[in-house]
Amino acid sequence: MTDFNQITLNLSEIAELVINRPKQLNALNSETLGEIGQAIDLVQADEQVRVLIITGSGEKSFVAGADIKEMKDKDPMEASEFSQLGNAVFQKIATLRQPVIAAVNGFALGGGCELALACDIRYASENAVFGQPEVGLGIIPGFGGTQRLARLVGHGQAKELIFTGSNIKAPEALDIGLVNKVVAPEELKDAVTKLAERIAKQAPFAVENAKTAINHGLDMPLEQGLHFEAISFGNHFATEDQKNGMTAFINKEKTTFSRQ
């Protein structure tokens, strides 16, 4: 367990990062964002970590947004720097070599919804609430919401959510593709752990490279994305995991993978 002031990081095969400001509903201030960035660097460098789970402490909130009390008196330059800090940290999550699962255990508003969007997969508890309420505060989403929400759920749904600042509950978030799965609050930890275990059993390089190929593909024309995939596909044939995986299949044996 690596302790920070505002988050907790547990490094193991299935690592867990908990945002730990329950009295502020886990709102993100500059210090929290800085600590998340440091934690992501540790996860990236840790050979044993196969999957990272991000969640919020307490039963009420995943993250209730960027810290409004910290933001209120910022001037335009300071506010833009705050947005750039959030975007840099969330981009680290999005491009982390390991897959990241958001376990959304309550409010995921503003920067909280954006944190979930920066993760690869989102599982939510039935009491989760999603929204980008920024226009009701006189601002726009500033940690990637105008970009990632539209890419995930389409620009029509994203514009409706962002222009109205409306909150939606977990079932509606599932309907529009904002989350992958909704479970009872007491089942969230188990459901996310099972998913992480399943991913952790696969060939690690292959999972990492699949993440990279999907992410790059979203930012490229199809032809370029297919070319990127073909190069990456070929690279796997220089790995032990490919040889062991295919040999085990042909011999009807089970194999474990080593990231080699």
Comparing CB distances to ligand CAA, the nearer of 15 and 129 is 129
Comparing CB distances to ligand CAA, the nearer of 93 and 191 is 93
- In the set 16, 78, 114, 208, the catalytic residue is 114
Close Cβ partners of 225 (under 8 Å, ≥ 6 residues apart): 213, 216, 217
Q: How far apart are CA 22 and CA 112, in angstroms?
A: 13
Q: Taking the complex as a whole, how short is the minimal distance between the CB of residue 150 and ligand CAA, in angstroms? A: 14
Nearest to residue 111, comparing CAs of 171, 21, 49? 21
Q: Choose, by CB under 6 A, the member of 145, 149, 168, 211 that binds ligand CAA.
A: 145
How many residues sit close enough to ligand CAA to count as binding (CB under 6 A)? 22
Comparing CB distances to ligand CAA, the nearer of 69 and 252 is 69
Comparing CB distances to ligand CAA, the nearer of 117 and 203 is 117
> Is 114 an interacting residue with respect to ligand CAA (CB under 6 A)?
yes
Q: Choose, by CB under 6 A, the member of 51, 53, 86, 125 that binds ligand CAA.
A: 86
Q: Sheet containing 167-169: which strands, arranged edge to edge?
A: 61-63, 107-109, 129-131, 167-169
12-71 residues near ligand CAA, rule: CB under 6 A: 24-25, 27, 64-69
Q: How far apart are CA 194 and CA 199, in angstroms?
A: 9
Q: Which span sits near ligand CAA by CB under 6 A: 39-47, 110-118, 170-178, 227-235? A: 110-118
Other CB atoms within 10 Å distance of the CB of residue 176 = 18
| Positions of E strands within the chain | 2-3, 7-10, 14-19, 51-56, 61-63, 100-104, 107-109, 121-125, 129-131, 167-169, 181-183
Q: How many helices (H) and strands (E) does the chain have?
A: 11, 11
115-134 residues near ligand CAA, rule: CB under 6 A: 133-134
Q: Is 114 a known active-site residue?
A: yes
Q: How far apart are CA 182 and CA 163, in angstroms?
A: 25
Q: Taking the complex as a whole, how short is the minimal distance between the CB of residue 115 and ligand CAA, in angstroms? A: 9
Q: Taking the complex as a whole, how short is the minimal distance between the CB of residue 40 and ligand CAA, in angstroms? A: 18
CA 238 to chain centre: 30
Helices (H), 46-96: 68-71, 76-94
Q: Taking the complex as a whole, how short is the minimal distance between the CB of residue 193 and ligand CAA, in angstroms? A: 26
Comparing CB distances to ligand CAA, the nearer of 56 and 141 is 141
Q: Which residues bind ligand CAA (CB under 6 A)?
A: 24-25, 27, 64-69, 86, 107, 109-111, 114, 133-134, 137, 141-143, 145
Q: Which residues are catalytic?
A: 114, 134
